Amino acid sequence: MTAAQKIAVITGASRGIGKATAQALAARGHQVAIVFKQQRAAADAVVAEIIAAGGHAEAFQADVADAGSVDALAHAIARRYGHIDVLVNSAGVYGARPLAELDPAFFTEQFHNNTLSVLLTTRAFAPLFGAAGGSIVNLSSNLARAPQAETAVYSASKAAVDALTRGFAIELGPRQIRVNAVAPFITRTDMTAGIPDELRQQFAAQTPLGRLAEPQDIARAIVALASDDLAWVTGRTLLTDGGFTD
Ligand SMILES: NC(=O)c1ccc[n+]([C@@H]2O[C@H](COP(=O)([O-])OP(=O)(O)OC[C@H]3O[C@@H](n4cnc5c(N)ncnc54)[C@H](OP(=O)(O)O)[C@@H]3O)[C@@H](O)[C@H]2O)c1
């Protein structure tokens, strides 16, 4: 099957890493389903940009932390495309709090949006992969391996994504569905817009490459994992951190 016939579903594609991934997959001939939660105008703009560039894209609203919403999304995509070849789970939220301010509501918000979401989409979309299989790429974080102060819960929610990635890779391997994750360090998106420039420069200076990531840096790694070039890679988390993490 050529890339021109491939269908890719990207959650969190209205902005940031998901948007860059949708654009990169569309540029390689995939038809892309742009999944957003609230920012319909941003999602429509991504669709318009991809179509203007000669690609195929359509926007779908869903809350990936809600089972009913994810199942409805999968039904809508099954009706529209019949099958999928690639699923990228980029939707997520970041929160940082000191230990004394941690509470069940914060834990639930982080784990529902970052971890339960991966379970729900994988469960709902796995039946839509065809006989040739395909690829699922999840968004972890370098913090899953190296948490920093006030990031314990977010880091744990991403460490759990790494475990889901490994476990689902084993379960879906017999159907030739590969499941991998990328683990970015600070990447220039809305999620990291609040990081002061001075801190940004300090972190950049600590990477061997002397800079922080653009969304396209992470998107290229996701596209590689989604492609047949990495057909022998599954159950892995790739640190896409410019060499920052020990
Ligand atoms: N940026 C970084 O430095 C960094 C580093 C490591 C890991 N990551 C991970 O990479 C992923 C993408 O991050 P980003 O920086 O691109 O984020 P972002 O710019 O803040 O965008 C978040 C995206 O997720 C969507 N989203 C959030 N919760 C959702 C939900 N419950 N249902 C459906 N969609 C939802 C948002 O949709 P709306 O636009 O509709 O709100 C938006 O498209 C996240 O999983 C994040 O944890 C990011």
Centre of ligand 1 to C-alpha 90, Å, is 6
* Domain extents in the chain: 3-238
Give the pTM: 0.98
**pLDDT given at position 207:** 97
Please name which of 163, 83, 177, 74 lies closest in space to residue 124, comparing C-alpha atoms.
Answer: 74
**What contacts 103, CB < 8 A, 6 or more positions away?**
none
Name the amino acid, one letter, at 214: E
**pLDDT given at position 1:** 42
Percent of all residues in the chain with a pLDDT value above 70, rounded to a whole number: 98
Atom of ligand 1 nearest to the CA of 40: 40
Architecture of the structural domain at 3-238? 3-Layer(aba) Sandwich (3.40)
Atom of ligand 1 nearest to the CA of 112: 31
Question: Sign of the C-alpha dihedral, residues 46, 52, 53, 54?
Answer: positive
**Tens digits of per-residue pLDDT, 2-20?**
444 799 999 999 999 999 9
Centre of ligand 1 to C-alpha 99, Å, is 23
Test site for ligand 1: of 10, 11, 17, most ligand atoms within 8 A of the Cβ: 17
Atom of ligand 1 nearest to the CA of 37: 40
**Across 160-179, average pLDDT:** 99
Centre of ligand 1 to C-alpha 174, Å, is 30
| Predicted confidence band of residue 168 (pLDDT cuts 50, 70, 90) | very high
**Pocket lining: 60 vs ligand 1, CB cutoff 6 Å:** no
Q: How far is residue 93's CA from residue 191's CA, in Å, rounded to a whole number? A: 8
CB 37: neighbour CB atoms within 10 A? 19
Please name which of 82, 91, 78, 85 lies closest in space to residue 35, comparing C-alpha atoms.
Answer: 91
**pLDDT given at position 5:** 79
Q: Any idea of the CA torsion for 194, 165, 181, 233, to the nearest 10 degrees?
A: 170
**Tens digits of per-residue pLDDT, 79-134?**
999 999 999 999 999 999 999 999 999 999 999 999 999 999 999 999 999 999 99
Look at residue 208 and tell me whether its pLDDT is greater than 50: yes
Q: How far is residue 84's CA from residue 6's CA, in Å, rounded to a whole number? A: 7
Active site residues: 154
